[in-house]
Amino acid sequence: MSHGDLCLRLTGVSARLGGHPILHDVTMTVVPGELVALVGPNGAGKTTLLSVMSGDVEPASGRAELDGIDLHRWKVAALARRRAVLPQEQRLAFGFRAVDVVRMGRAPWARRPEEDLDDVVVAESMQRTDVLDLAERSFPTLSGGEKARTSFARVLAQQTSLVLLDEPTAALDIRHQEQVLSEARQLAAEGHAVVAVLHDLTVAAAHADRVCVLAGGRLQADGAPRDVLTPDVLGEVYGHPVDVIDHHGRLVVLPHLIDTRPRSSTEEAACGSARS
């Protein structure tokens, strides 16, 4: 299949974890050529939704389909050749070299013609994520950001049509945040479908084609950044007022500051008069 044949469709999906309801009646579609950002407050269900999209969590109700087939019906190896997942935490404890971790992304292509490209793909993926100089380092000795970039290189090396990224910029400095999201945008431009959980709303506005806002396990908004990232929507979802500013054509989301300074007796008296 080409990238263009891919379609990820969720229809009325609800999900439970540990007996607790997490997602409620989520319906959305992801197609090739777009970068979709999942945003929302802590506990909104973003990681669970990504796990449903990957096939790791089966919906309690509704349907989650990839190419028209329920995700839980896919064979493991076939699914690994169609979608790659960057988890929120990098939990490898053994002393694999960084290059070995990236090479793990090629496992789904073992004993297939694509296996002949392993060395080239691994080197290219490490170059794209700026970790070539870490190739011989033991993975557990890397910093959080170095682990994140190495794991992203593994995802690139897997060469799948669907790419799912859970907080890919969380441990990165500004330069590497831009580098990783530029690579994600490039994947979308090449015809991949990319979904990324992001906490920085300004970053989501700058890079995403679509923004899906989750709150309380429900999809509250889904659309272009300018249509979704508004003071009204964000203020209601996050329970905190925000300003959305157009800065040279790019949206910047700024939360209102909470004034925690101790007030003088004069200020307290003025506030009391205003309230009365």
Q: What is the pLDDT of residues 185-238, one digit of tens each?
A: 999 999 999 999 999 999 999 999 999 999 999 999 999 999 999 999 999 999
Beta bridge partners of 97: 138
**Which residue is listed with tokens 């790791």?**
56
Element (H, E) at 70: strand 69-70
pLDDT above 70 covers a percentage of the chain that reads 91
- pLDDT-derived band at 1, boundaries 50, 70, 90: very low
What's the CA gap between 163 and 248, in Å, rounded? 30
Mean pLDDT of 147-151: 95
Residue 115 CA neighbour count, 13 Å, CB half: 7
Cα separations in angstroms, 244 against 59, 141, 177, 199, 239: 35, 40, 21, 16, 15
What are the extents of the domains in the chain? 3-82+160-275
Q: Give the CA diameter of the chain.
A: 78
Strands (E), 80-154: 83-86
What is this structure's pTM? 0.90
pLDDT tens digits along 51-106 = 999 999 999 999 999 999 999 999 999 999 999 999 987 676 678 999 999 999 99
Least confident range from 193-202, 239-248, 265-274: namely: 265-274
Give the architecture (CATH level 2) of 3-82+160-275: 3-Layer(aba) Sandwich (3.40)
pLDDT at res. 265:
62
